[in-house]
Amino acid sequence: MAVDDDTLHKMAQRLRRDCLESTAEAGSGHPTSCMSAAELVSVLFFDEMRFDPRDPSGRDQDVFVLSKGHAAPVLWAVLKEAGGIDDDLKTLRRFDSRLEGHPTPRVPWVRVATGSLGQGLCAGVGMAWARKLDRSEGRVYALLGDGEAAEGSVWEAAEFASFYALDNVCAIFDVNRLGQSGPTMYEHHLEPYLSRLRGFGWEAVGVDGHDVKAVREAYARARATKGKPFGIVARTFKGKGVSFLENKDGWHGKAVKKGEELRKALAELGDTSVTIKVEPRRYAPSQAPSPSEPRVSPAYELGQEVATREAYGSALAALARTAPQVVALDGDVKNSTFSEKFKEAAPERFVEAYIAEQNMVGAALGMSTEGKVPFASTFACFLTRAYDFIRMAVYSRPSHLVLCGSHAGISIGEDGPSQMALEDLAMMRALLGTTVLYPSDAVSGERLVETAARTQGIVYIRTSRPKTKVLYDNGEAFPVGGSKTLRSGPKDRVTIVAAGVTVAEALKAHEVLGKDGIAARVIDLYSVKPVDEATLRKAAEETRGIVTVEDHSAAGGIGDAVAAAVAGRTRVEILGVRDIPRSGKPEELMKAYGISAESIVEAARRLS
């Protein structure tokens, strides 16, 4: 039975009370940002959305993304009032509480962590795309603040949603006029937001965000719109309902004080004793295929020359055939990353994300919440644009999210420094709980794609442009945390640790050193994170020192990983790029910047 407007307004007042009380108890938070959105949230959860308060999975239901994550208290409040959680709201922000200051999946209703602004809609459009793929009727609602609409990623997501005709996504802009340090860009003028949305191909309507009837009508219109995403641009007031807070600057991120100040604020809200029972409402089951074990079948000959980027594409194509849960995204470089092979095999599961890397990563994260195993690929250097999205994805704790950065390092050659990723291993190693894989040949390239598809969490695969010789048998396994010792003997005097394109250089150096009577152990450290500490420490004990060599900055990559693993056990000399590079042939660049076989030989001689 529909809830009347007066009851929904009263629930909005109740949510305001909850937010004021919880933030006052915490002594911090963003109550005024919550208060502006109270009617938008009340109508959505208690009238519009179809969901089951007992089931936070979102399966066959509508789902909600709070992009303006600082308004977390209103999310916790509405979930409590709807019966989705039973937590004490006054534990907000406490160390022993799952009700954190910004949304995280510690509360299972939170599908993606938010709080770094401009990201919620990107995840939302990824969810919506996945639901279209599975023929799910469930809709996606994302609540944004007007301040975050200055982020370009919002409009990357808007363009994506329009291009893919995602009429199952609704973006709600809470235009409350005030940001953290002053007024937002357009204050209470709704037309700039409406014209932008319409320009990107959305249907959009402006409303008084505190008028329950108008908000209900806007949500109904969104549901009825076909072929286009829908935007609701709501004019609201920060701190709505309390005279000394409403539309007043200087209150962002500031709780009212317990005692007289809180009592005064609550008195202005009036009677908020209201309960609305939410009856479970679900859609018919979706048609998502059952997942299966990802499998690849490399078929190479020893000595054959194949680029690892090409092996990546071949492996993706194999996953397209063997694992229906795998989807692929690319940033308009699919003919260089070779993800186009996936598109050829399963075009309906391939997403061209175009040159919008932030949205590509955000959408991939959203897809992962729908049970997909997304592989998102671009040149490794361009992933730096999306680093904050990757950082936030860590806190979302995705079941699977695979990123592939190709064309890494100076070995790409003539394209020059703008295209040379020399930072990617460092940035991916720095993220908590990530896995970093770096194949050296086609077999390890394919097998590590298979490994990535089976590995929980965020996995980064680094691929290279140059062709390299096949070193491994097709049946070789490459588990996370492993390495391959390619050359060793009882008289080894030095260890050379390499990965990717520098493995071939290490093997050349091994031959030269052997002619000089210096036995060298060679390790392919294909798992950069976690590293094979046992093998590295054994090498530290059995040889006089370790030379690491990588087509990456000398800071933060393989050398630092090895040095940390063997700290205090032996000497480590790190060979990596230390100067700003320039265009040139791969061979001359590797020699000029100290990561060729010649440089390895010189370093090994110093240590032996």
pLDDT in tens, 405-420: 999 999 999 999 999 9
Q: Return all residues near 307 (Cβ < 8 A) that are at least 6 apart.
A: 442, 463, 464, 465, 466, 467, 468
Q: Does pLDDT of 477 surpass 60? A: yes
Q: Does pLDDT of 608 surpass 60? A: yes
Q: Does pLDDT of 288 surpass 90? A: no
Rounded to whole angstroms, the Cα distance separating 72 from 49 reads 19
Structure confidence at residue 604 as a pLDDT band (50, 70, 90): very high
Residues 142 and 67 sit within 8 Å (Cβ to Cβ) = yes
pLDDT digits (tens, 9 = 90+) for 513-538: 999 999 999 999 999 999 999 999 99
Share above pLDDT 70 across residues of the chain, in percent, rounded to a whole number? 100
- Mean pLDDT of all residues belonging to the chain: 97
Structure confidence at residue 395 as a pLDDT band (50, 70, 90): very high
Angle at which helix 387-396 crosses helix 357-368, to 10 degrees, equals 10
Residues 61 and 51 sit within 8 Å (Cβ to Cβ) = yes
pLDDT, mean of residues 561-586: 97
Q: Return all residues near 410 (Cβ < 8 A) that are at least 6 apart.
A: 420, 422, 551, 577, 581, 586, 589, 590, 593, 595
pLDDT digits (tens, 9 = 90+) for 226-270: 999 999 999 999 999 999 999 999 999 999 999 999 999 999 999
Q: Does pLDDT of 203 surpass 60? A: yes
Rounded to whole angstroms, the Cα distance separating 376 from 354 reads 12
pLDDT, mean of residues 129-147: 98
pLDDT, mean of residues 554-577: 98
Q: Does pLDDT of 1 surpass 80? A: no
Residue 357 annotated among the catalytic residues of the structure = yes
Q: Does pLDDT of 205 surpass 80? A: yes
The strands making up 494-498's β-sheet, listed across from edge to edge, are 484-487, 520-524, 494-498, 545-553, 571-577
Residues 55 and 275 sit within 8 Å (Cβ to Cβ) = no
Decide if 5-269 and 484-607 have a common fold.
Answer: yes
For 5-269, which CATH class?
alpha beta
Structure confidence at residue 377 as a pLDDT band (50, 70, 90): very high
- b/e per residue 33-63 (b: at least 16 CB within 10 A): bbbbbbbbbbbbbbbbbbbbbeebebbbbbb
pLDDT, mean of residues 312-335: 98
Tally of CB atoms within 10 A around 94: 13
pLDDT, mean of residues 475-502: 98
**Pairing mode of beta strands 571-577, 545-553:** parallel
Residues 194 and 206 sit within 8 Å (Cβ to Cβ) = yes
Choose among 167, 143, 163: nearest CA to 233. 143
Q: Return all residues near 473 (Cβ < 8 A) that are at least 6 apart.
A: 302, 443
Tell me which DSSP letter residue 383 carries: G
Choose among 51, 125, 43: nearest CA to 83. 51
Q: Does pLDDT of 99 surpass 60? A: yes
Residues 569 and 544 sit within 8 Å (Cβ to Cβ) = no
For 484-607, which CATH class?
alpha beta
Share above pLDDT 90 across residues of the chain, in percent, rounded to a whole number? 99
| Residue 290: per-residue pLDDT | 93
Question: What is the identity of the amino acid at 393?
Answer: A
Rounded to whole angstroms, the Cα distance separating 147 from 399 reads 31
Number of helices (H), then strands (E), in the chain: 21, 19
Rounded to whole angstroms, the Cα distance separating 560 from 508 reads 23
Q: Return all residues near 224 (Cβ < 8 A) that are at least 6 apart.
A: none
Domain residues of the chain, as ranges? 5-269, 305-469, 484-607
- What are the CA-CA distances from residue 402 to residues 81, 448, 457 (Å)? 37, 11, 8
Helix, strand, or coil (residue 474): coil
Catalytic residue from among 148, 159, 357, 423: 357
| Residue 2: per-residue pLDDT | 84
CATH topology of domain 305-469: Rossmann fold (3.40.50)
Q: Does pLDDT of 73 surpass 80? A: yes
